[in-house]
Structure 1
Amino acid sequence: MSDVTIRQAQGDDLQAVLYVGHSTWPPTYGPIAGDDYVAMGLAKWWTADATIPAIRAGRVTVAEVDGKVVGVATVGPQDGHLMLWKLYVLPGQQGHGIGQALMAAVLDQAREGGFAQVRLSYLDGNTSAARFYAKAGFEEFDRECGGSGLPDSVWVRRSVDPQQQTGEAR
């Protein structure tokens, strides 16, 4: 596999970022939460209107292989923590360390921003997300009832060591 480049998303990455979302959501959430949930999520979170402000604010990181965007991470501050809102890698590129490289960049962003924790949620039943985040040092601290037949949201967090820079694959 070629080298992975991790960098801040630029305006001309918009279509590639949206492509990652539209390619990952159906196989990730369809089996867990159903097609209606997938359609709602794509319409709400994976549109130009929802993504452009995050890119402009410098909150979107992309992973490139051979000049093609194959992964995305989106963060933002909330309640004194750095929230990881999105971390997705194209299905054909998973298992090659791209998600780990994006996570390293997120942890570096947390340190640079002075955040003590990174927090995120994933849907109960998303076993690959559960394994990935556990391996990255995240621990469950809460659950939120999904309601209307949807799976619960599992909330996890990881403390950030302000002295340690990961710098992996950057």
Structure 2
Amino acid sequence: MKVASGVLLRAATGDDLQGVITVGQQTWPVTYGPIAGDDYVAMGLAKWWTADATVPGIRAGRVTVAEYDGEIIGMTSVGPLDGHLALWKLYVLPEFQGSGVGGMLLRAAIARAKADGYDELVLSYLDGNDGARGFYEHYGFTETGREHTGGGVPDSVWLHLKLEENHG
């Protein structure tokens, strides 16, 4: 699958709201169902993949979408956390995973963090999400800690990527 060359990365607009939410609705069950169970998936979709949860990030310019053939196939959401830039979401529709879209989105988030003067990009993934672990390690992220979530949900594994200082 050679999709990445036809993908447009751009800031999300209000018109992208349903497309962004659809990415979450399609990725969460296959990503987190096997790791954390259906109740966790239902809770996450209800909490983080609604218009109320998504519109503020779009309005603040913190959501980037990957568009292919007029369809939103992936997205990221970033925001400040303890003096660093946090990558809160990076999701690609299952049928486009492995096509290079995730790497494009991650490189764009790294570039944004550098351009905005951050020294680190931080993120977390659920323990057991081996695909995420391998993906982020490939880009140089290292583990900084774990957060016990409780309720039978796997730990959140926190990673960071030190960003080189911008000179000039």
Note whether the superposition's TM-score is higher than 0.5.
yes
> Hey, what does 2:106 align to over in structure 1?
103
Q: Which amino acid aligns with 1:40?
A: M
Distance 2:163 2:72 in 1: 27
For the residue of structure 2 that corresponds to 1:115, the secondary structure is coil
Q: Which runs of 5+ in 2 are unaligned?
A: none
Q: Tell me the SS of whatever aligns to 2:117.
A: coil
Deviation at 1:162, TM superposition (A): 3.4
2:159 is matched with which residue: 143, 156, 160? 156
Structure 2 residue aligned with 1:38: 41
- State the one-letter code of the partner of 2:155: D
Q: CA RMSD in A?
A: 1.1
How many residues matched?
164
- Distance in 2 of aligned mates of 1:115 and 1:163: 10
Matches within 5 A, 1:1-170: 1-2=2-3, 3-163=6-166
**What secondary structure sits across from 1:15 in the alignment?**
helix
Structure 1 residues 55 and 80: alpha-carbon distance in aligned structure 2, compared to 1, 3 A threshold: same
The list of structure 1 runs, each at least 4 consecutive aligned residues, that deviate by more than 4 angstroms after superposition, is none
Deviations 1:17-63 (A, max 9, x none): 00000000000000000000000000000000000000000000001
Q: Under a length normalisation based on structure 1, what TM-score does the superposition of the two structures give?
A: 0.94
The amino acid across from 1:32 in the alignment is: I
Unaligned runs of 5+ in 1: 165-170
Deviation at 1:150, TM superposition (A): 1.1
Paired AA for residue 107 in structure 2:
A
- Residue type at the aligned position of 2:15: D
